[in-house]
Amino acid sequence: MTNTKPETMVVTIEELDRKGSGQAVTWRENELGNPKKLRLTLPQTLPGEKVRVTVDQPDRRRRKAVPDEILEAHPERTAPPCPHFERCGGCVWQHWDYEGQLKQKTGHVKDALIEQGFDPNLVQDTMGMEEPWRYRNKMEFTFSPEGALGLHEQGNFRKIISLETCLIASEQMVEAAMEVADWVKDHHLSGYNKDKHEGLLRHLMVRQSFATGELMLALFATEAPGAHEEAVDDLMKRIEKNFPHVKSLLWLENTAWADRTQAEEIHLLAGRDFIYDEMDGYRFRLWFDTFFQTNPTQAQKLVDLAIEMGQPKETEKMIDLFCGVGTFSLPFASRVGELAGIEIVESSIESAKRNADDNGISNTTFLAKDARKGIDEMLESFGHPQLLMLDPPRSGAGGKVMRRIGRAQPERIVYVSCNPDTFATDVKELEPFGYTLDGVQPVDLFPHTVHVECVATLTLNK
């Protein structure tokens, strides 16, 4: 007979999974007296810790549970400063000393490369932040059906944790978000119910340029603002009075079932539909849907590393693959003879062109195309590049794109990655084409989370 009663046990955390949760294994007897393995996933634990945990339905092969008590703590365990940490899904490692987080991230990169047969000694220690708090320049908050504003509960996208603060966002961003939250309560506005597909307010996006101080507030709603004229007028007055740095106040209609910050209609309530930001001395325009690095301090390190490791020369041609709005393109363009950027998102390419014009850069060509087809088209019209850079999404560039890069035979390749696992499989594809991985520098753009970025260079053997 199946045992469905909760059972309390003591286990030791063996390792962390890719989501940052502890993993433990224990053996139990089944109803026939035979040994049966139970794999446990235990959030907010650290390697080597001994914990007491109560497991519901322990007869299953895998279960997830929050520990009842830490019996033997890791020496790097620390008290999380955020009052929402235990429930909020925004961070997973506030209970871990920052130096310990950095070591774990370095190990992740090394493990990913070892799996593909590379020497782990190519990986440098992860570059951290002097102050690993208040680093995000963009946050996407969600409204609960009752209208409370917050972030998703850990592991539960149906549950919203109402927030009083957020220690990874700038103080001005949090203050502006709390003002919007108060406004919603005062006007008794409803949030969106994902199950019933009804309700008014879905998300609040807050962006801020750390360089210019400009703020953007973007409300995503299921109706036009005209149906709530009195409330909208009050919101505009509140923001104008209390937040002069808000240079863009938007109301975005989104009636799609998909739970994404997208818009069918854009209503400009105040200011302009974009804000200005700066990086590496270049000015960028950021719209609500513009991808831009969310940690400007560490993003600057990424740019500096890419330039240092890529060694661009004034006589060279360069291709920037997955170029986005030109975050890397513009700094590199001032150091090479000609630069061509390729990006599948047309709005990003238009932004890249505009950003180049705004900064007086005239040696760039930008193409809105799929990466693989874009390379073929650009090689034909632009010519052979000596230097190629790519900064793909978390899913990586993929084997077809990497093999196309290998056949193009650029002398040097700079790979900026936000996923060590896909990075390792991607660069493995270049070995048959004569490339050697020279070095990998991890950079921590997201303290207190599992994510880590890398900058790597590969050289063509001649």
What gap in Å lies between CA 146 and CA 351, rounded to an integer? 37
Q: Any idea which residue has 């209970």 for tokens? A: 95
Those residues whose C-beta lies under 8 Å from the C-beta of residue 302, and which sit 6 or more positions away, are 293, 416, 443, 445, 453, 455
b/e burial code for range 338-354 (CB count within 10 A of at least 16 → b): ebbbbbebeebbebbbe
- Alpha-carbon torsion (381, 382, 388, 389), positive or negative: negative
From the list 88, 91, 166, 418, the catalytic residue is 418
- Measured CA distances, 81 to 78, 86, 290 (Å): 9, 11, 31
Those residues whose C-beta lies under 8 Å from the C-beta of residue 353, and which sit 6 or more positions away, are 364, 366
Catalytic residue status for 91: no
What gap in Å lies between CA 312 and CA 458, rounded to an integer? 14
Label residue 266 exposed, middle or buried (CB < 10 Å: 0-12, 13-18, 19+): middle
Residues with a catalytic annotation lie at 418
